[in-house]
Chain A
Amino acid sequence: MNTGILAYGGYIPQSRLQRSEIAKAHNWFAPGLQGLAKGERAIASWDEDTVTMSVEAARDCLTGLDRDAVSAVYMASTTFPFQDRQNAGIVADALSLQSGIMTLDVGSSQRAGTSGLSIAMQNSAGSGKSTLLVTSDKRRTKAASPLEMTSGDGAAALLIGEGDVIARLLGSHTESVDFVDHYRDENNSYDYGWEERWVRDEGYMKIVPTAVNALLESSGVKADDITTFCFPVAMGRVAGTLAKNLGIPGSAVADNLQANCGEIGAAHAVVMLVHALEQAKPGDKILVAGFGQGCDALLFEATDALASFPARRGISGHLARRREETNYLRFVTQNNLLNVERGIRGEVDKVTGLSTLYRNKHMAQRFIGGICKTCGTPQFPKTKICVAPDCGEVGTQDDYPFADKISHIQSYTADKLTYSPDPPAYYGMINFEGGGRLMNDFCDIAPDFGVEVGMSMRLMFRVKDYDNNRGFRRYFWKATPTDEALASQKKSKGE
């Protein structure tokens, strides 16, 4: 039976920092950055991390699919929010997956994404099990570093399994080489890297061909049959030169999304693969390689099923959901690169009782409310006594998931008094279609656009609060305008 990709999804945060603004700020000190000062990079909002971005990519991937069929969740990243609390487990919980599944974090290398993909393939091959691979990165970069310019934030997700795949795996090969082009030890937040020319000549140009040639040989596919070559490297011309040296057609070299997104660390090979699948035709042969202390190479062939694969936002859709950011200082401030006076209001203790969280986990992490068996009223949170004024029955509520419900704004404000890392804080009362409501935080609101009463909203999984005293963060769901609401808002503002 074919093993391969059953579904894909992507997520790119809305905000795109203009590289020219980064370069302008640093020009006095690092004029060399001007050479990279083209295009824009995706930046996560203050309330996004690799877990939240993975959840969004996974929701996109699982559009219309039965979540109970997922039997494993692997999460690949080099920037997990938790070092000791399984991150894949948070993703699985937010997706309301059942508990009888394998969850696993894969990290420590820029090829974690492709390694995760390889082991997901191995897990699903011959087992009949579906494995959800999510991969995300939000690399911490020093101000004025080239990485600050070339990196981006985002996530991708693939559902791997057998049967009616949209792309079948033709083969894979991994080379493990302890080639240290950069590293980050347990005591440091930032990478330490070596000269690019050496990395290119001794790393990319030697290790990648070894892996790709071994893969081509074992799978019996000729290099010039490759339709798409997904190789994540920000450095110009490296992928093209590799293709040329390997005999892969120049036209096959996939867009590395450097112009409009930036390189999403360990996730980027998979991000490029998802982007490639969005444009692929049945029969296309897609080669994806990940580089980092060696190289993973995987070869896929798009099947006829791809043609009828239902539309989703994916990488392309999220790239279109875009807001230009020209305020470099906001990026620096929100990434704690600047010691900013946040005011005493920001000192409120955000402690989370772990027992409180566990007891209320379905409410807080899954956004599951209740629906009354007697009167049919959906309500959030789920409580012991029905809220409907003419009902009030005790103990009649079944679980009622709200996370994928559309809601509409009844009232809102833009609050400049409450402490927010990104003022003003937008929040308001949202009424869910079919019933239920919540005074909820909003996310990704552009202050020049704002929101309005009646606007349709959808929920996104976000960081609710950071407990900096204890190194904890709690998650919750926030409301953001639907794509349709954003489109009509843009239209009415004449954009």
Chain B
Amino acid sequence: MATGIKDKVAILGMGCSNFGERWNDNAEDLMVEAFVEAIDDAGIEKDQIDAAWLGTGIEEQHVGKSAVPLSMALRLPYIPVTRVENYCASGSESFRGAVYAVASGACDIALAMGVEKLKDTGYGGLPQRNRGSVNDMLWANTSAPGSFAQLATAYTAKFGVDAKDLKRAMAHISIKSHDNGSKNPKAHLRNKITEDKVMNAPMIADPLGLFDCCGVSDGAACAIVTTPEIAKSLGKKDLVTIKAMQLAGSNGTEAQHNSWDGSYFATTRHAAARAYKEAGIDNPRKQISLFDVHDCFSITELVTMEDLYISEEGRAVNDIMDGFFDADGEIPCQIDGGLKCFGHPIGASGLRMIYEMYLQMNGRAGDRQRSNEPTIGMAHNLGGFPAQNICSLTIVGKDGV
């Protein structure tokens, strides 16, 4: 009988590079930046790391295949290294590899690295690529915003929400994230924005305008994990442990079976139910202190509030407009600025979210430190398209909570 991951693994150290248009840095430079911070935070030597995972999504744009770019960049001492890729959840996937390795007892200390160097394409937005030789024959000519924009049309149709009210709630999401991001020195975008600006921005994919879309940037984030016992033996105090790690992948029901209505993420709902169970959470709206979700687009964040069972179905607009998810609200969402302000270097994003949870629980989040001390934090990482995706959830919290 599986007992779950709860409290079996603790974070020993974390690091995160500055995110942005890092014109003068290679992916390897970004990895080193995150690694130096993480290993310093962990207080260990490189040769204490037993195994490492590299999460990256669009490797052909930067490091190429395998995990060798990681072991080369960090000069790792001939340890097991593995590259993982799972759409935009690749960073969380590397974390899962390291956490599971420690939990299994195969490793004492493991490292997870996520990196992406996206700003070498010559244009804004995510790289436009082939989707596989068979998929290219039948998949629609989609972009990421065009795929996620359809959540809005389906949501509007399902709940009878006025399209303008929905657009205003989406605007509030982006304004809130920019307010938060303005306080984060590592964020790519640190400007505040107004509702007028969001509502009147150029349309990218109807109804998503420019400010409904997250940025695209370069960045890396790194975690070093171990068992709580080893962490304590190394002198680590106020441990942050892993409470749950769940992942769900689409099986074609959404894309090919007429039962899905297009307004929500079936994967998120399945992963959330399992994650809460694993973490022993029965009322997430009361028990979660803060969370970072995969706000690739404002509408994604909006429906995710319902898919994570924080807002009731059809009620996310109300919670958002009530300020429930603002930095000073009940459960801050994207207190670091989110993908909206960090941009979305694919492999790095999931680890960047966990990094913020870790900082907040250690009281190290600077100007954006949540005043009532967070005890349970959740990172939600999503890859693919609403009809066909991967959802990864990581719940971390203070040891003993």
Residues of A whose CB lies within 8 Å of any CB of B are 343-345, 348-353, 356-357, 360, 363-364, 377, 379-381, 383, 387-389, 410-420, 424-425, 427-429, 431, 435-441, 453-454, 464-465, 474, 476
Contacts and interface: CB of A to CB of B under 8 A. Distances in A.
B128 A348 contact: yes
A19 B143 CA distance: 35
Nearest to A435: B258
24 contacts: A352-B136, A353-B133, A379-B256, A380-B256, A387-B252, A388-B257, A389-B253, A389-B257, A410-B262, A411-B153, A411-B262, A413-B145, A413-B153, A414-B203, A415-B204, A416-B204, A417-B143, A418-B141, A418-B143, A418-B146, A427-B142, A438-B256, A439-B142, A441-B140
B200 to A, nearest CB: 16
Interface string B89-133: 000000000000000000000000000000001110100111001
B142 A360 contact: no
Contacts of B128: 345, 348, 418-419
Interface string B138-180: 1111110111011101101100000000000000000000000
Given A429-B150, A474-B137, 8 more contacts: A345-B128, A349-B130, A413-B145, A417-B143, A429-B262, A436-B256, A437-B255, A465-B136
Interface string B202-223: 0111101000000000000000
Given A389-B259, A418-B142, A464-B137, A413 B205 contact: yes
B279 interface: no
B258 A352 contact: no
Interface of B: 121-123, 125, 128-130, 133-134, 136-143, 145-147, 149-151, 153-154, 156-157, 203-206, 208, 251-253, 255-259, 261-262, 385, 387
B264 to A, nearest CB: 12
A351 B383 CA distance: 25
Contact of A415 (B122, B136, B146, B153): B146
Nearest to A355: B133
Contacts of B140: 427-428, 439-441
Given A343-B123, A439-B387, A363 B137 contact: yes
A428 B122 contact: no
Contact of B205 (A351, A416, A453): A416
B150 A428 contact: yes
Contacts of B143: 415, 417-418
Contacts of A438: 138, 255-256
B377 to A, nearest CB: 32
A411 B257 contact: no
B258 A437 contact: yes
Q: B125, B138, B153: which has the most chain A beta carbons within 10 Å?
A: B138
Contact of A436 (B147, B154, B206, B258): B258
A473 to B, nearest CB: 12
A437 B137 contact: no
Contacts of B387: 429, 439
B142 A410 contact: no
Contacts of A363: 137-138
Contacts of A349: 130
Contacts of A356: 133-134, 137
Contacts of A389: 253, 257, 259
A381 B153 contact: no
Given A387-B253, A429-B262, A476 B157 contact: no
Contacts of A353: 133
Contacts of B136: 350, 352, 465
A425 B150 CA distance: 13
B139 A357 contact: no
A427 B121 CA distance: 25
Contact of A345 (B123, B257, B262): B123
B154 A357 contact: no
Q: B122, B156, B262: which has the most chain A beta carbons within 10 Å?
A: B262
Contacts of B142: 415, 418, 427, 439
Given A363-B138, A439-B255, A411 B133 contact: no
Contact of B149 (A348, A387, A413, A440): A413
A362 to B, nearest CB: 11
Nearest to B125: A417
Contacts of B262: 410-411, 429
Contacts of B122: 344
Contacts of A454: 157
A425 B146 contact: yes
A360 B387 CA distance: 22
Contacts of B251: 387
Contacts of B125: 345, 417
A427 B252 CA distance: 19
A59 B363 CA distance: 69
B129 A348 contact: yes
A357 B136 CA distance: 10
B167 to A, nearest CB: 14
A427 B151 CA distance: 13
A417 B205 contact: yes
Contacts of B151: 411
B256 A387 contact: yes
Given A387-B256, A412-B150, A413-B146, A364 B138 contact: yes
A415 B258 contact: no
Q: B122, B142, B208: which has the most chain A beta carbons within 10 Å?
A: B142
A381 to B, nearest CB: 7
Nearest to B144: A417
B257 A377 contact: yes
Contacts of B154: 410-411, 429, 453
Contacts of B257: 377, 379, 387-389, 437
A414 B153 CA distance: 11
A379 to B, nearest CB: 5
Q: B125, B137, B251, B255: which has the most chain A beta carbons within 10 Å?
A: B137
Given A380-B256, A425-B141, A413 B129 contact: no
Nearest to B123: A344
Given A350-B136, A415-B205, A427 B141 contact: yes
A116 to B, nearest CB: 30
Nearest to B149: A413
Nearest to A464: B137
A343 B138 CA distance: 23
A411 to B, nearest CB: 4
A431 B130 contact: no
Nearest to A441: B140
B145 A412 contact: no
Nearest to B146: A415
Question: Which 3 pairs, one residue from A and one from B, show the smallest C-beta to C-beta distance?
Answer: A415-B146, A411-B150, A418-B143
Contacts of A380: 256
B206 A414 contact: yes
Q: A410, A412, A439: which has the most chain B beta carbons within 10 Å?
A: A439
Nearest to A419: B128
A345 B124 CA distance: 10
Q: A343, A427, A435, A440: which has the most chain B beta carbons within 10 Å?
A: A427
Nearest to A429: B262
Given A389-B259, A416-B204, A420-B141, A427 B133 contact: no
Nearest to B263: A411
Contacts of B129: 348
B399 to A, nearest CB: 39
B121 to A, nearest CB: 7
Given A348-B130, A417-B205, A427 B153 contact: no
